[in-house]
Amino acid sequence: MTVKLVNTSEESSEGQTSGNNKIVIIDDDKDLAQTACWEVEAADYEAFPIVEGSFNSIDDLILEIPKDVYGVLCDHRLSKSGLASFYGSDLVAALYEQKIPALLETQFYDMDSDVSIRKHRHKIPVLLDRDSVNSSTILTGLQTCWLELNGTFTSGRKPYRNIVRLVDISEESNEDVVDVIIPSWNPRRAARLPLSLIREWILNFEPKIGTRLIANVNSGAEKPEDLYFTDFEIAPEPEEINGIS
């Protein structure tokens, strides 16, 4: 299913786009979903909760989203009550590819952002801590999504070619992970990402502490959980590097 992208310039003075008045809430916790629905209604949008079912396919869940949708607010962990067999980050990334603006929220903000969310962070314009979800952050976040889907990135989301240096190798949630430093972002603060993310671009990559890579990174991000990484390649020797920010 593909939802037509609506130009945000068509928004009325009340902030609602004509014809697209629904905000979908996807959460396996009915009480928390109801709270989010109240926030959506407080912003003069129609809340459309998806809290029941058992979805093993992302496509099947997307089919439940109405065509007149303004945006989606999706919880990250959807399996506790059996709503879905996949993460919310998997769904939000799929919606991004279909030009459907979607926000991802999580109760475990610091824990989730390192591995399960980082895989898709380049397709997740806005990540919200559950405690910060309200009518204002929902609408502001969806506006950010609409702009990015139309090609306008905020300063914290623009990608730049950057040196990425591996400083640690470990395991988290039964998955191999690496800690990296991006000198142009913060030479003293590491970010964690799954090794599988690097291997999407460098097949059979074997990590070694001190290895230097080049990747697209949104190095204008303020917090490590907002960083995303794409298009990895092995960095040339230092004397050969020219013009990398």
- The pTM is what? 0.86
Give the up-direction half-sphere exposure of residue 96: CA atoms within 13 A in the CB hemisphere: 21
Give the angle subtended at the CA of 100 by the CAs of 18 and 53, to the nearest 5°. Answer: 105
Domain ranges of the chain: 8-149, 160-240
Helix (H) or strand (E) holding 148: helix 135-149
The neighbour count for residue 54, using CB atoms within 10 Å, is 10
Three-state DSSP at 33 gives: helix
Rounded CA separation 87/90 (Å):
5
For the chain, the farthest-separated pair of C-alpha atoms sits apart, in whole angstroms, at 58
**Can you tell me which residue has the tokens 């230097």?**
212
CA dihedral sign of residues 242, 206, 119, 202: positive
Q: Look at residues 64, 54, 120 and name the one whose alpha carbon lies nearest to residue 90.
A: 120
Please name the fold of domain 160-240. Answer: OB fold (Dihydrolipoamide Acetyltransferase, E2P) (2.40.50)
Rounded CA separation 114/108 (Å):
11
- Listing from the earlier edge strand, what are the strands of the sheet with 160-172? 186-194, 175-182, 160-172, 212-217, 229-234
Rounded CA separation 190/98 (Å):
32
CA distances to 169, 200, 211 from 235, in Å: 18, 16, 8
Helix (H) or strand (E) holding 199: helix 195-199
Ordered per-residue pLDDT tens for the chain, 245 residues: 333 333 333 443 333 444 689 999 999 999 999 999 999 999 999 999 999 999 999 999 999 999 999 999 999 999 888 999 999 999 999 999 999 999 999 987 665 567 889 999 999 999 999 899 999 999 999 999 999 999 999 999 999 999 999 999 999 888 999 999 999 999 999 999 999 999 999 999 999 999 999 999 999 999 888 999 999 999 997 765 555 65
State the pLDDT at residue 81: 85
Helix (H) or strand (E) holding 180: strand 175-182
Q: Look at residues 42, 217, 43 and name the one whose alpha carbon lies nearest to residue 118.
A: 217
Rounded CA separation 76/105 (Å):
6
Helix (H) or strand (E) holding 213: strand 212-217
> Does the structural domain 8-149 have CATH classification 3.40.50.300?
no
